[in-house]
Amino acid sequence: MLKNKMGSAPVRKASHSGSWYSDDANELDRQLSGWLADCSKVAAPVRALIAPHAGYYYCGACGAHAYRQMDPARIKRVFILGPSHHVRLSGCALTGTEKYRTPFYDLNVDSKMNEELYASGPFETMSISTDEDEHSIEMQLPYIAKAMESKRGHFTVVPVLVGSLNQEKEALYGSIFAKYLADPDNFFVISSDFCHWGQRFSYTFYDKSAGDIWQSIESLDKMGMDIIERLDSKGFSSYLKQYQNTICGRHPIGVLLHTVDAMRSIGNGHHVSFRFLKYSQSSKCQNMRDSSVSYAAGVLTIQ
């Protein structure tokens, strides 16, 4: 399922279009434009975001709050870190393709950056089947294409599939990505949903003191979100160990937090902060037979 260096196809097709989001460019444009128009813009320069990756029916409006903050005038390269849902992976893997297809236009993969990352050591290559089966990266692509449409053909993407990393490996990849996050030409997209609650997810944590089940879920998620806002990599790891919250992008988030740690250690004097802009749930769970997935959109600013 994973390969060394070379992929087996030049273009990764939009595997989930037509099901998880519209494959009609005009319809998709109307949908994304409407959601983006409903969001306000933050003042500080944004250099990374966290956005959900479920079907747009469920999380598209939430994700818009993060993508509204992308400034195409500043960005030449977009790193996309998404969790691996289908393949057991102990490190990170890059795409072997040259382009990622979206209903809007193809996104060019930064092959030179891939070679730079390979040279650093701990990167594998996704097979085309692994690449196309994974939705966590793909669900960010239409929003990236829409937000960056004024720079069409003049920016590249670096998709990174993130495996089940321990804290040491998150720190290792953070040390590699730090210099790229510090460069204002680069932008990082972190793909993650939050709590997957219900018997079908084998996770039914319920703190009755928080109120109804959906309120307990929100309280649990926001406990983790507060730690992310503090950019506390160790605190986030401890929170996950204590509560086992089913945040599917916990490792990409962990890599981002360790990237900030490593960037700060360089001592460039920048002020880094993170802020969540939106939180939502697919449904409000009332009893133990219900289920839901939570979504959050947030942004990292560097000044």
- Per-residue pLDDT reduced to its tens digit, 241-266: 999 999 999 999 999 999 999 998 87
CB 195 within 8 A of CB 217: yes
Cβ-based burial of 263 (10 A; exposed 0-12, middle 13-18, buried ≥19):
buried
Tokens 């070679």 appear where?
Answer: 115
Res. 285: pLDDT tops 50: yes
Q: What is the pLDDT of residue 8?
A: 57
Res. 274: pLDDT tops 50: yes
In the chain, where the domains are located? 44-302
**Cα separation of 122 and 117, whole Å?**
8
Q: What is the pLDDT of residue 38?
A: 97
Strands, DSSP E only, in 56-117?
77-83, 92-94, 99-100, 107-109
**Cα separation of 63 and 117, whole Å?**
28
What the block records as the tokens of 82 is: 């998404």
Q: What's the whole-number average pLDDT of the chain?
A: 95
With bands split at pLDDT 50, 70 and 90, how would you rate the model's confidence at 1?
very low
Q: What is the pLDDT of residue 152?
A: 97
**Cα separation of 225 and 236, whole Å?**
9
Res. 15: pLDDT tops 60: yes
- Per-residue pLDDT reduced to its tens digit, 94-150: 999 999 999 999 999 999 999 999 999 899 999 999 999 999 999 999 999 999 999
Ordered DSSP codes for 174-194: HHHHHHHHTSTTEEEEEE---
**Cα separation of 84 and 251, whole Å?**
10
**Cα separation of 192 and 56, whole Å?**
14
What the block records as the tokens of 9 is: 């196809």
Using alpha carbons only, what angle is made at residue 55 by residues 240 and 82, rounded to the nearest 5 degrees? 45
Q: What is the pLDDT of residue 217?
A: 98
R_g of the chain, CA atoms, integer Å = 18
Greatest pairwise CA separation for the chain in angstroms: 53
φ, ψ (nearest 5 deg) of residue 157: -125, 150
- Per-residue pLDDT reduced to its tens digit, 167-224: 999 999 999 999 999 999 999 999 999 999 999 999 999 999 999 999 999 999 999 9
Domain 44-302: assigned CATH number: 3.40.830.10
